[in-house]
Amino acid sequence: MGTVGKALDLLDLFTRQRAQVGLSEMARLSGLNKATCHRLLTEMESRGLVEQVGAAREYRLGPAVLRLAALRETAVPTRDAAMPVLQTLARATGETAHLSLREGDKLVTLAFAYAPTHATKVMMEDADILPWHATSSGQAVLAFLPEAEQVALLSHPLRRLTDVTETDPARLRARLDDVRAKGCAETAGTFESDAQSVAVPLFLHGEAAVGALGVAVPVSRMTPERQTLIRRHLALAATEIIDLWGGHVPPAVTALWQRLT
């Protein structure tokens, strides 16, 4: 791995729960020695990508990421463009709607919207990484990727997150055939035991999925009628978002989604 990759991997150590990381912890988490960590962080700090704060001089993400994100949104309106559709989807289904994007070998939550309807709802974390095998979003994307990529993304050991998480790659890949035939993925209790979810893939210019749009429902509230309603609204919302992104839905998927609506 190159120096730049090593430096950028340090940025992934920041999470919502761990917004600040000290140098020693950075070294421990990354497996790099402290001197290397310090050198990489200092270079990133000089460009505003990280900054040091507080008496302990811990590191956190710096202001440059905001400027870069603003530029990216100007060039490719993604989050800003999808946000109103996501809010409409949450209102229409009465449930939590969320959008995730693929970044290399990760699937990352980009945005979500809650419905005002119910006191109980599935809570999402901004910028969380979704496990490919255990989420409907992950399966929706996987099903619409070339086989070689499916295999690669499922080649890491798959964690059993609940009693019903499928961790066998072969059985998972068989399930993906199903998802591909339906144009949407559904999971129940495989990521968190009390949540059920439905997701459809999102596309940009090609046949390969670039992300997913999902709706998550507390298990206690899911009914066949609600599931049908959610599938229909997901197909409509996904079409709208892809259109706002200036992309297009592959014709085969359009045909599948017409059956859902």
Binding track over 148-187 against a second copy, x by CB under 8 A: ----------------------------------------
CB 207, CB 145: distance < 8 Å: no
Minimum CB separation from a second copy for residue 91, in Å?
A: 21
Number of Cβ within a 10 Å radius of residue 252: 12
Q: What Cα–Cα distance (Å) separates residue 82 from each residue in 65, 140, 205, 215? A: 20, 18, 17, 14
**With contacts defined by CB under 8 A, how many residues of the chain interact with a second copy?**
51
Of residues 65 and 174, the one with the C-beta less far from a second copy: 65
Binding track over 57-96 against a second copy, x by CB under 8 A: ---xxxxxxxxxxxxxxxxx-xx-----------------
Binding track over 94-133 against a second copy, x by CB under 8 A: -------x-xx-x-x-xx--------------xx------
Cα distance between residue 219 and residue 196, in whole Å: 5
Of residues 68 and 219, the one with the C-beta less far from a second copy: 68
CA-based R_g, the chain, Å: 20
- Tell me if 38 contacts a second copy by CB under 8 A: no
Cα distance between residue 251 and residue 101, in whole Å: 21
Contact positions toward a second copy, by CB under 8 A? Answer: 2-5, 7-9, 11, 14-16, 19-20, 39-40, 43-44, 46-49, 53, 60-76, 78-79, 101, 103-104, 106, 108, 110-111, 126-127, 205
